[in-house]
A and B are shown apart, each in its own frame.
Chain A
């Protein structure tokens, strides 16, 4: 088990290395000059040369990438202008061209908002998706099933920017039940935080729970035909125990897998949700960075979200081992 975990972590680090190399490489191919971008509009050729040297853009690609990696693990020192030196401690992902802030700091500042969206919404969509899926499976073929699966199908085919804006129009603009979505610190203003997060949570949960509902329903219906469920009935167990202990337990593994990957993906930035609701999270940071060609921020956010997806994958594998005793032994 420990060896397995170690292997997974090492392979995760290798994948991160590959992702960072690709992202780093792509920006070199782009027809944008980082020195010019970092300098502003009124900028002489002389200044650009200086900046190019300060940013070490006059070095070869492998050297630049090597220094970038070194920055992540041990930190690095930039020449600011010609004289002053600027130390960027590990993990250093460079400085934003736009704001001159360290990318690591930007990521740290934006993570809580994204994490708030991801965790809040995930609890909601799990509750909604699992319960409606279970009910559908148990009442298969009845109007309850048809209704809930119809809603699920509809929800799955809608888009966040549509549902999000409609909900915002109704609950914020018309009824004024909720404040405009945004982000407040849950530690200092928990009530505001919950109220501002309510719409992003509901929107995301509405769309994602549809997938979980269908997954739960299909899984449970499949497991209901298993021999071991017949055994459970033959023992004289009541329906509640049969359905929740035996059937759901048999069907839960794929749901956990998808959940882990969804959550990991969201933690890297709920791009559309944050954009629609104007929430200062990682997704908003990356879309803004793309709009401004803020290369260090783009690279940073891509590596950061890749990191979350890889971590989620490793966690899902571990959960698999916890859930399936056959995997545990191997």
Chain B
């Protein structure tokens, strides 16, 4: 199957008074229709900036975007804002983390969904209203005829996120970017929203980019995982590969830091030491090296040169950016990481 979305060498930087912030650095990935890509990373790793770039939302700001973003063969980055605007919501759309903040407080939910539909469809307001009711019904909001007249604050957190999804999908986009769609929700509601996204994906064959820092959510929903750190991809592969045979020390850290029901309750959780780097002064060499426990095995290369993103084994689709060689990684995973999973 051909790649519906193809991001090639995407870089996004923001000039600030303190220096240039390289939020995304030379990122490449692909996504097919009907598939889900999970982009995982800490705050500030460049996940959201990437998603905004795919929607072309950096246009008109001070951000400098380079590289190619091909959606269905059209380069979003090369097109002028006036053209990209006509694609937003129709070809690609987005749902945001905090639905309460992302919905306009002064307009009814129905009005906002109908508005999204009206932008791209030459229909009357009553048709758009019907579409809003239909979409709210589709995302599982009871009594949609009445609820379209509610304001966002009258909805519960989960319902607001459903309404956001209804709005984003009202024009049947082929690509949906979900930026931490469940972070602000209760765990039970999280599961409902994830199920809803999966159902809708099956129904409309939508390509989904799921941005999250929750590995559990990714494990359940994604086909591929892209692990980001300091604006760079550090590991990229199928969910199976990346979660079962993780290759990057950062990924090991993330996986071992998840609390487990079967573990010893008195043992403290393993945390990755240190804090995410400032994007203005990214550490030299591998950006993760100041927090990495295995630098001693490699030596000076970690702080001197940026490792390449290379296949784990030749020809594999599992890529990793690490100076450790394959045998060292295998040995560490087997002896130090594996037992803690």
A214 at the interface (CB under 8 A from B): no
Bound-state CA distance A323–B94 (Å) is: 28
Q: Would B153 and A325 count as touching, CB distance under 8 A? A: yes
A238 at the interface (CB under 8 A from B): yes
Bound-state CA distance A228–B104 (Å) is: 5
Binary per-residue interface labels of chain A (228-251) against chain B in the complex, 1 for a CB within 8 Å, 0 otherwise = 101111111110000000100110
The listed residue (B96, B104, B116, B153) touching A250 by CB distance below 8 A is: B104
Q: Would B119 and A236 count as touching, CB distance under 8 A? A: yes
Question: Do A234 and B55 contact each other (CB < 8 Å), given the known contacts A227-B98, A324-B106, A325-B105?
Answer: yes
B57 at the interface (CB under 8 A from A): yes
Q: Would B102 and A231 count as touching, CB distance under 8 A? A: yes
Which chain A residue lies CB-closest to B98? A227
Q: Would A323 and B88 count as touching, CB distance under 8 A? A: no
Q: Interface on chain A toward B: helix, strand, loop, or mixed SS? A: helix
Q: Would B88 and A231 count as touching, CB distance under 8 A? A: no
- Which B residues, 69 to 113, have Cβ-Cβ distances below 8 Å to chain A? 85-90, 93-94, 96, 98, 101-107
Q: Would B96 and A325 count as touching, CB distance under 8 A? A: no
The listed residue (B89, B101, B107, B154) touching A234 by CB distance below 8 A is: B89
Q: Would B153 and A231 count as touching, CB distance under 8 A? A: no
The listed residue (A237, A323, A329) touching B106 by CB distance below 8 A is: A323
The listed residue (A228, A232, A233, A237) touching B105 by CB distance below 8 A is: A228
Question: Do A228 and B87 contact each other (CB < 8 Å), given the known contacts A236-B120, A237-B115, A325-B153?
Answer: no
Set of chain B residues within 8 Å of A58, measured between Cβ atoms: none
Binary per-residue interface labels of chain A (244-281) against chain B in the complex, 1 for a CB within 8 Å, 0 otherwise = 00100110000000000000000000000000000000
Question: What's the minimum C-beta distance from B165 to chain A, rounded to whole angstroms?
Answer: 12
Which chain A residue lies CB-closest to B55? A234
Set of chain A residues within 8 Å of B208, measured between Cβ atoms: none
Question: What's the minimum C-beta distance from B240 to chain A, rounded to whole angstroms?
Answer: 32
A326 at the interface (CB under 8 A from B): yes
A109 at the interface (CB under 8 A from B): no
Set of chain B residues within 8 Å of A234, measured between Cβ atoms: 55, 57, 88-89, 93-94, 168
The listed residue (B86, B90, B93, B96) touching A227 by CB distance below 8 A is: B96
Question: Do A231 and B104 contact each other (CB < 8 Å), given the known contacts A325-B151, A325-B153, A326-B151?
Answer: yes
Q: Would B101 and A227 count as touching, CB distance under 8 A? A: yes
Q: Would A232 and B104 count as touching, CB distance under 8 A? A: yes
Q: Would A228 and B89 count as touching, CB distance under 8 A? A: no
Bound-state CA distance A209–B106 (Å) is: 26
Question: What's the minimum C-beta distance from B58 to chain A, rounded to whole angstroms?
Answer: 11
Set of chain A residues within 8 Å of B5, measured between Cβ atoms: none
Question: What's the minimum C-beta distance from B181 to chain A, rounded to whole angstroms?
Answer: 13
Q: Would A233 and B151 count as touching, CB distance under 8 A? A: no
Binary per-residue interface labels of chain A (288-330) against chain B in the complex, 1 for a CB within 8 Å, 0 otherwise = 0000000000000000000000000000000000011110010
Bound-state CA distance A321–B211 (Å) is: 38
Question: Do A236 and B104 contact each other (CB < 8 Å), given the known contacts A325-B153, A326-B151?
Answer: no
Q: Would A236 and B85 count as touching, CB distance under 8 A? A: yes
Q: Would A228 and B153 count as touching, CB distance under 8 A? A: no
Bound-state CA distance A227–B164 (Å) is: 12
B167 at the interface (CB under 8 A from A): yes
Bound-state CA distance A235–B103 (Å) is: 12
The listed residue (B85, B96, B167) touching A238 by CB distance below 8 A is: B85
- A-B residue pairs in contact (CB < 8 Å), sample of 10: A227-B98, A228-B101, A228-B105, A230-B96, A236-B86, A237-B85, A249-B104, A250-B104, A250-B105, A325-B153
8 smallest beta-carbon distances between A and B, as pairs: A236-B88, A236-B89, A227-B101, A325-B151, A228-B104, A227-B102, A235-B116, A235-B89
Known contacts A232-B104, A329-B153; can you find 10 more A-B pairs with CB under 8 A?
A: A228-B101, A228-B105, A231-B104, A234-B88, A234-B89, A236-B89, A237-B119, A250-B105, A325-B153, A326-B105
A contacts, CB < 8 Å to B: 226-228, 230-238, 246, 249-250, 323-326, 329
B contacts, CB < 8 Å to A: 55, 57, 85-90, 93-94, 96, 98, 101-107, 115-116, 119-120, 151, 153-154, 164, 167-168
